[in-house]
Amino acid sequence: MINGHGKQNGQHNGKVAQNGIAALLEIEDLGDNHVGTSLETPMRDDAFAMDDDQKMELIQGHFREIMNILGLDLEDDSLSGTPHRVAKMYVKEIFSGLNPANKPRIALFDNKYQYNQMLVEKDITLYSFCEHHFVPIIGRAHVAYISNGKVVGLSKINRIVQYFAKRPQVQERLTKQIAEELKALLKTDDVAVLIEAEHLCVAARGVEDVNSKTVTVEYCGKFEDQSVRKEFLSHVRG
Ligand SMILES: [Zn+2]
């Protein structure tokens, strides 16, 4: 039942079912084309009603079932611990950025040196996961900002990138989320984020293109200016 309207009207139901299938096809298409729907990671209100241990226990059971269905022998020593390992990895590592409790706490410092040129943190290693296929996105992020009086420790930029990467993601959304977080944190619009990444769902399945990369950029504030943007790109490419 697609809309829960029950059986009151056969004709009406037929139409609903048809629309429902069209909607499902559209959703399928959206996923395969890697289009995201919003800047916020779509999450339910009760996302953290369960604690990490409860989540791991449930995921472990479900992953065991997936392996079972695939016909794998879970009595085998090599496989018996896999459901637990996967559950722990999901909750504590690769998807830990879903939980706001894991957001890095970042201290700001006064810009004592009065350094008012752009600061570029480049080649930040990026591991994320495609939310449409749950396989890795592997790449590099390049982040820049121009101080508005405050600065952050350099490693903190990497931490912000990792936090948003540790979610099922869409590369465009990841790029914007990093930029928005830095803008809010540094109280400036002058932020740029460029991500170049390989998507294993493109490289290892589907079109199986092992050479293609996806580049996404977010230029804000002064980085919308051509010459500032060009300087940023020359640092990234240099
Ligand atoms: Zn994908």
pLDDT at 29: 65
Q: How far is the CA of 203 from the centre of ligand 1 (A)?
A: 10
pLDDT at 14: 41
The neighbourhood of ligand 1, an ion, using CB within 5 A, equals 130, 132-133, 201
DSSP 127-191: EEEETTT--EEEEEEEEEEE-SSEEE-HHHHHHHHHHHHSSEE-HHHHHHHHHHHHHHHHT-S-E
φ and ψ of 2, to 5 deg: -85, -45
Alpha helices, DSSP H, located in the chain: 10-32, 52-69, 77-80, 82-88, 154-165, 171-186, 200-203, 226-237
Which residues of the chain are under the pLDDT cut of 70? 1-37
pLDDT at 57: 98
pLDDT at 5: 38
pLDDT at 27: 61
**What are the structure tokens assigned to 20, written together?**
């429902």
Q: How far is the CA of 71 from the centre of ligand 1 (A)?
A: 25
pLDDT at 154: 84
Q: How far is the CA of 39 from the centre of ligand 1 (A)?
A: 18
φ and ψ of 113, to 5 deg: -80, 0
pLDDT at 232: 97
User: What are the Cα distances from residue 5, in Å, to 12, 17, 18, 20, 160?
Assistant: 9, 11, 14, 13, 45
Query: Which residues are designated catalytic?
Result: 130-133, 171, 199, 201
Q: How far is the CA of 135 from the centre of ligand 1 (A)?
A: 7
pLDDT at 34: 63
Q: How far is the CA of 137 from the centre of ligand 1 (A)?
A: 8
Q: How far is the CA of 142 from the centre of ligand 1 (A)?
A: 22
